[in-house]
Amino acid sequence: MSKLGTLGARLHHGEVGYDFVKNRKIWYGVSILITILAIVGLAVRGLHMGIEFQGGAVFTTPKNMSVSVSTAEEYAEEASGHDAIVQKLGDGSLRIQVAGIDTGTSDKIKDTLAEDLEVNAEQINAELVGPSWGEQIANKAWQGLAIFMILVVIYLAIAFEWRMAVAAFVALIHDITITVGIYALVGFEVTPGTVIGLLTILGYSLYDTVVVFDSLKEQTKDITKQTRWTYSEIANRSINSTLVRSINTTVVALLPVAGLLFIGGGVLGAGMLNDISLSLFVGLAAGAYSSIFIATPLVADLKELEPGMKSLRKRVLAKRAQGADPGDPQMATVAAGDHGDDPGDDDGAAAVVGPRQAAARNRGRGRPSGRRR
């Protein structure tokens, strides 16, 4: 078995682990700081809306153009009097976008560009895009997002409980805010592909969260009937038991998206891939982070406010305080975590060998039969 597989098994059985819930204030602080930076970036720089949302014209030149992107951008801005966006496609052609122009202006710009680029005007393909089409896309996207959020909250409240629904909703808002803020800071163009990417990452963001919630639901059955673990400790075990799975699925999902973003969009110059790949890349990473560091710790905080969980915590701490010796191996299992026992088990027996168990096992040691003489 590989080292990662061995680590996953040890995490699942509670032999090793990291206390995510205990350090939740650190993660909350990090998330708040990143969210504030994203909101500030969005407010200061704003989103660079694509031509589909503003309206305008798209000019596509013949293949294998020798003119650089910066030069073509100067030509387009001089011909139109508007800001222009130029992208060099994989076949060497140029895609020139000019926002806020009509049909008559488009024809004039096309002729001027043909002269500047030294090509025949008929070889330049011109497409007009109306702003109403982009507005319809934006409205449908907002409607889809609202419906998605409502359905997710209802489903999680029924399948799990309302506290988990609230935590998942907060995690989704966290992921969307960070993704949109990074778009503003990076300055990538917002296109319909960006909208598709944003809607897609919502499902990925929920995937890891639901996996942890399902594990937590199973491990907290009849939790008040035992006095060994608090709700927060079981929540932390749920995170650790699914940690390697979350990392594996996230890495596998990020690899092809990273290929689109860094190789397809950066090295090969396929700029149209950037809009959807950036939203997917940031959203997947933020979703994996929020499911571990935000959603589950927030559920633990909300559950610990219940009178039943408060009473359970008092009983657990009181039972631990009755330990005769802080160095007792049985007390050490509290810090080391459970070793595969059912958290709902009222037994309280330690996974390591306690003093009485050790004495019982040592009886008769050194004698062939193990019987007393």
What 3-state DSSP class applies to 209? helix
Q: What is the pLDDT of residues 225-247, one digit of tens each?
A: 888 899 999 999 888 888 888 88
* 3-class SS string, 145-161: HHHHHHHHHHHHHHHCC
pLDDT at 24 over 50: yes
Q: How far apart are CA 52 and CA 295, in angstroms?
A: 35
- For residues 334-342, give the mean pLDDT: 40
Domain range summary for the chain, segments of one domain joined by + = 19-49+133-307, 57-129
Q: pLDDT, tens digit, for every residue of 284-315?
A: 888 889 988 999 999 999 999 999 999 999 99
CATH of domain 19-49+133-307: 1.20.1640.10
SS3 68: coil
Tens of pLDDT along 183-200? 888 888 787 778 888 888
Closest alpha carbon to 46 in 190, 154, 234 = 190
What's the whole-number average pLDDT of the chain?
Answer: 77
**In this structure, which CATH number among 3.40.640.10, 3.30.70.3400, 2.60.120.10, 3.40.50.720 belongs to the domain 57-129?**
3.30.70.3400
Average pLDDT of 363-372? 44
Cα angle: 23, vertex 176, 242; to 5 degrees: 45
Tokens of 161: 């409980």
Residue type, 208: D
Strands 125-129 and 56-60, bridge-based pairing: antiparallel
Q: Does 353 have pLDDT greater than 70? A: no
Residue 356 pLDDT exceeds 50: no
Q: Which of 216-225, 286-295, 327-336 has the lowest mean pLDDT?
A: 327-336
